[in-house]
Amino acid sequence: MSGTIAELMSAQSSTNPDERPIRVRMAPSPTGPLHIGTARTSLYNYLFARATSGTYVLRIEDTDLARSTPEFEHDILDNLHWLGITWDEGPQAAGGEDIGPFGPYRQSLRMDRYAREADRLLQSAAAYHCWCTPEELDAVRREQEAHREPPRYNGRCLRLTDADRAAFEAEGRRPAVRFKVPPETIRFDDLIRGEVEFDNGLLGDFVIVRANGVPVYHFTVVVDDEQMEISHVIRGEDHLSNTPRHIALIQALDYTVPRFGHMPLILNPDRSKMSKRLLQTAIGAYREQGYLPEAIVNFLAFLGWSPGTEEEIFSLDELAARFEIGEVHKAGAVFDESRLDHLNGVYIRSLNDADLALRLRPLLAEAISDATLAGLVPLVRERMVRLTDAVELTGFLAEPDDVVAGWWDVDDLLPKGRDLAEVAGALGVARDELAACGDWSAEELEAAARGAAGELGWKPGDFFRPLRLAVTGKAVSPPLFGSMVLLGRERTLARLDAALERLRAAAPA
RNA sequence: GCCCCCAUCGUCUAGAGGCCUAGGACGCCACCCUUUCAAGGUGGAGAUCACCGGUUCGAAUCCGGUUGGGGGCGCCA
């Protein structure tokens, strides 16, 4: 049954057409900070590269000179590193040197290549000069829309005479270069979507080099992917419809067609394409708010992929070991912030004391010493969704006594059914019992407070309420006695005394 | 308007013809634990698998259509 073997071989070769080594790339554009969507595309490419022992290339797509900035480039590379995503070729740091044999990895430094390849197309008449102005194109487009026709280039400059061309040149117009799209059916086998078919006869000829000489994205990707020997192009679904024009370009240039894989989009809660309007999209913003890179990676990985089991906590390494491009979903996935929050909490709780202290340190006031921080960690760990939650939780330690006292009102001290005098009495007893403790430890303080509550016939919860307010300034706080230990004997008693004074002043004589 | 893609609880998902009276997780509700809040534990509500037709002894799973949603149609990337 040689047919079976032949089928098997053709199936394999369709996965990896010419046995080229696997090389993937991410190609961010430094026209904004690292976006959630770019981060996920980068992650999937990274996972694919690691799962297949391929090479991962980073290329900076900075042909939009006006909007690209070094700051954005820095944000992108820095946050990618922060997420734990590394690459084998390309600039390792913003403005830093490239690594790898296919450089430069920055499109602004590759202009001569684009010009050369555009000339080849011009020479073979696969492309032509176009003198239409943006205004003229706009007018045509509006006309087409009015007639309910698909908006596409009308091919005017394809039919120009030499005299026309000379006239435009005489006017001082500079031509753009337009690719003449062959009217063919383009078919390809998408890694994620399977067979996809487009009719390029429906496409208008598109610009590949602007009148100012700067090449356009559709052209630069194709040239760069060929010259960097990219074997698999994994990108967002928004590029699916662009793929047939890329393939047409690849064929006209006599390049090798890579395998394509189009990932589902990340969606707003209303299921439209993720946007800054409805969602926070900058990775840096999540970082600043105290999301852990581990949680973001885990969350992003599951937005459009699942290992097929019920496990859901995975490190980057574990993801790389499990990842399978064919398992990636086709449907878009809504970005659910409450799920990210949950995962972040899980990761925070999994951190050991030293690690959590290290991550909290830069967020907390200097008034909180390293020793205090060490004691704080076990008290706050289970109470945080984001690292920045620790700021609120530890405010009672960072702020001076009078500020903390300003956080509450005398009325807040009263548990249900107790009046001012009762509370003043109870607080007084508690203060004295605590002061009498020989050892200022959470265990001893708790025993003393519970003893006092019992003797007075108070429920512990009610009894602790005014204490908590007086010491931490809030009705909700980390565990009370641990908090007292960290505050220290002196400051705790001072706050209790101050509270007593306020109570007595407010109580009717 | 044209082209393309998609469709399981509110959300992320499991499911590749019988194991599904559709499983897990987030969120929500209740209870337990408890010094507050969390965390943790237990339980609950929540999906006629978009709809309609096929194929089949049998369909969430295969096929066709419909509807709905999304993406693309730039001298943006």
pLDDT at A11: 37
Provide mean pLDDT across the span A264-292. 93
**Has residue A7 got a pLDDT over 50?**
no
Question: Which of A320, A190, A199 has the alpha carbon at shortest distance from A258?
Answer: A190
Q: Give CA–CA dist A358/A133, Å, rounded.
A: 58
Q: How far in angstroms lies nucleotide B14's C1' from the CA of residue A300? A: 18
Q: Annotated catalytic, A330?
A: no
Report CA(A187)–C1'(B57) in Å, whole number.
39
How far is CA A195 from each of CA A188, A189, A190, A433, rounded to the nearest angstrom?
6, 4, 6, 78
Between the CA of A326 and the C1' of B27, what is the distance in angstroms? 30
Contacts of A277 (CB under 8 A, 6+ apart): A268
Structure tokens at A490: 């002196």
b/e code A335-357 from CB counts within 10 Å (16+ = b): beeeebeebbbebbeebeeeebb
Q: What does the pLDDT average to over A89-117?
A: 91
Rounded distance between C-alpha atoms, residue A197 and residue A187, angstroms: 4
Give the separation between CA A127 and CA A8, rounded to whole angstroms: 39
pLDDT(A453) > 60:
yes
pLDDT at A263: 96
> If we measure between CA atoms, which residue out of A314, A372, A370 comes closest to residue A346?
A314
Q: What is the pLDDT of residue A57?
A: 97
Answer yes or no: is pLDDT of A44 > 50. Answer: yes
Per-position b or e across A76-94, b if 16+ CB within 10 A of its CB: bbbbbeebebebebbbeeb
Nearest to A269 by CA among A259, A258, A277, A261: A277
Residue A184 corresponds to which amino acid? E
Which nucleotides on chain B have any atom < 7 A from a protein Cβ?
A: 1-8, 10-15, 23-27, 35-40, 69-77
Residues A439-456: what's their mean pLDDT? 94
Q: How confident is the model at residue A151 (pLDDT cuts 50, 70, 90)?
A: confident
Q: Which nucleotide is nearest to A380 (CA to C1')?
A: B38
Phi, psi angles (nearest 5°) of residue A56: -110, 125
Q: What is the pLDDT of residues A351-389, one digit of tens each?
A: 999 999 999 999 999 999 999 999 999 999 999 999 999
Look at residue A19 and tell me whether its pLDDT is greater than 80.
Answer: no
**Which among A180, A276, A416, A459 is annotated as catalytic?**
A276
Q: Name the nucleotide with the smallest C1'–CA separation from A215.
A: B75
- Asked whether residue A16 carries a pLDDT value surpassing 50, the answer given is no
Question: What's the mean pLDDT in A442-455?
Answer: 94
Mean pLDDT value across chain A: 91
